[in-house]
Structure 1
């Protein structure tokens, strides 16, 4: 997608069922007040469709469709040899669909488009609603398009479509996202009949809401009462979830986006303070929780890697939004979650 620096114009066009070389240099340009050429619920979307004709063409009308949709698909395989079979799991969701006529002859008569360049401005409003942001995932996507159809008598409509970026704004100044969060966890490790002293962690994060590009600051205190060396580690994990209708079948895909390691905690050491920093990638998609067939979630995982034993972990669900924190915002008091397990 190309972005204009002055008018904030973005253009992209995909031609479907073009008839020969009659239509040339087709473009659909969007004009947006946002520098990244994005749109949101209730925005007016405007621009122009432009094409060049190599010869005169008779048409009935030119239609425009504004459409939002989500679709997912993945396959599973079972059995082996001749009994092996593949099953496709898929679902589609229409978010909205608006249709209008751009050009039409009088009394249903055909009109003739002359050879040369034709430009058709358009302007319409995106419906108000809680629609998910544009997203392209491993097994599905959420997309928003403008489709122009050229309709002729006794012919299938010829379509030109262009995708635009839709953003569902999430404000990180929402009080629910400003709450500091903390978690504690502990375990003991065994070797034959011997049980070590406890391995403990107490982890804190200043809030739950962030925007791409921000740094997540993690404060932790560790205690290692065992005879083993342990190493602190923090990860930012994205979870893409895909669901068929009614969520009867699902596909969960975790992806580690960022990882950082801290200094090792030596055996029989306690009250070891550590700060871990995770920089959220600039291009990380925002969280999606308002689509029944596709979700995007984020979790910060803080763990202690224990030599010869399973890790000790704490999980912090976070939200990636679009509107960054205003430093003067007041924050509510922290709350704590405690978990313990013994291995």
Structure 2
């Protein structure tokens, strides 16, 4: 019956920044609104601020399928939007609007994350409307949490790596291939452009094709970390101009556009991690590829 009496419950968050995110130590505030189709007695309107992480995946052993899972509660705070001491209040028919606020604890909590099937880090507010001798009517709304990254000069420093190999096989005559690759920095944000410069040498008899890719790796753990599941995923890749045989000094620039909705790096959760690597590869037909790897960090707004 109460489901017909209470209609159009909604939550409006007052975000502290244009990204619509909250971080540790900040206050989650906003307004709730709902409509009553008749006068209604209530005891209180409760509020719970929760953060949790959970993972699960299927394994097969001896022909049987079982699910491995783990979950961690990050915090669970309770308060009231409307509290009546030892009594009830009659809310009149019509639309009701109430402000709410609750401070997120200070702490190193991981950023919000949603995997397609295996894991999730979520932050939500749960509102409960309580009446005497009735089960509370609950509504929940999720908000986006962004973990602050402390200012680290290393994230702003340029990176470089080199790799080379002598080629000798059935499909190409002897010679060496090499590359020296540079990135502007280690730290990026979703939507940024990764600029890659490379000096390539091709002393073989075949053309080589440079390729750059941004690889995301999701790692899910049990609580004891005795088991894990790793899911790599290429978010974006690009191919460069082919380098002809017997060229000793070929300069190349490549760019990778980080997706706007790419999750931030996560290294501060005991059951879930998200890592990123920029992989630059030299591809040659009939021979194994040559690679350089650059671990990078995707962050939001750092604390200075």
Q: TM-score w.r.t. structure 2 length? A: 0.91
Equivalents in 1 of 2:289, 2:133: separation in Å? 68
The alignment's C-alpha RMSD in Å is 2.3
1:147 and 2:126 are equivalent in the alignment: yes
Equivalents in 1 of 2:213, 2:172: separation in Å? 32
8 Å CA contact 1:238, 1:256 repeated in 2:
yes
Equivalents in 2 of 1:241, 1:67: separation in Å? 23
8 Å CA contact 2:45, 2:128 repeated in 1:
yes
Unpaired runs of 5+ in structure 2? none
Partner in structure 2 of residue 71 of structure 1: 54
CA distances 1:183-239 after superposition (whole Å, capped 9, x unpaired): 111223332599722221111112111122222111111122222221111111111
Partner in structure 2 of residue 105 of structure 1: 84
8 Å CA contact 1:104, 1:111 repeated in 2:
no
Equivalents in 1 of 2:301, 2:37: separation in Å? 47
Partner in structure 2 of residue 248 of structure 1: 226
Going from structure 1 to structure 2, the CA distance change for 1:110 and 1:259 (only over 3 Å counts) comes to: same
CA distances 1:282-337 after superposition (whole Å, capped 9, x unpaired): 2222211111111111100000001112111010000111238x9xxxxxxxxxxx
Partner in structure 2 of residue 165 of structure 1: 144
Going from structure 1 to structure 2, the CA distance change for 1:44 and 1:210 (only over 3 Å counts) comes to: same
Equivalents in 2 of 1:36, 1:198: separation in Å? 48
Going from structure 1 to structure 2, the CA distance change for 1:263 and 1:209 (only over 3 Å counts) comes to: same
Partner in structure 2 of residue 92 of structure 1: 71
Equivalents in 2 of 1:194, 1:118: separation in Å? 77
8 Å CA contact 1:23, 1:53 repeated in 2:
yes
Equivalent residues, number:
302
SS at structure 2 position matched to 1:176: helix
Aligned with residue 301 of structure 2, among 280, 301, 323:
323
Equivalents in 2 of 1:310, 1:47: separation in Å? 57
Partner in structure 1 of residue 194 of structure 2: 216
Equivalents in 1 of 2:43, 2:278: separation in Å? 56
Equivalents in 2 of 1:166, 1:276: separation in Å? 32
Aligned with residue 41 of structure 2, among 58, 70, 77:
58
Equivalents in 2 of 1:323, 1:59: separation in Å? 42
Equivalents in 2 of 1:89, 1:116: separation in Å? 48
Aligned with residue 273 of structure 2, among 258, 276, 295:
295
1:232 and 2:215 are equivalent in the alignment: no
Partner in structure 2 of residue 122 of structure 1: 100
Shift of 1:64: 0.7
Shift of 1:32: 2.2
Is the deviation greater in 309-318 or in 284-293?
Answer: 284-293
Equivalents in 2 of 1:102, 1:213: separation in Å? 37
Unpaired runs of 5+ in structure 1? 1-17, 327-343
1:276 and 2:259 are equivalent in the alignment: no
Q: TM-score w.r.t. structure 1 length? A: 0.81
Aligned with residue 267 of structure 1, among 238, 242, 245:
245
Equivalents in 2 of 1:58, 1:248: separation in Å? 52
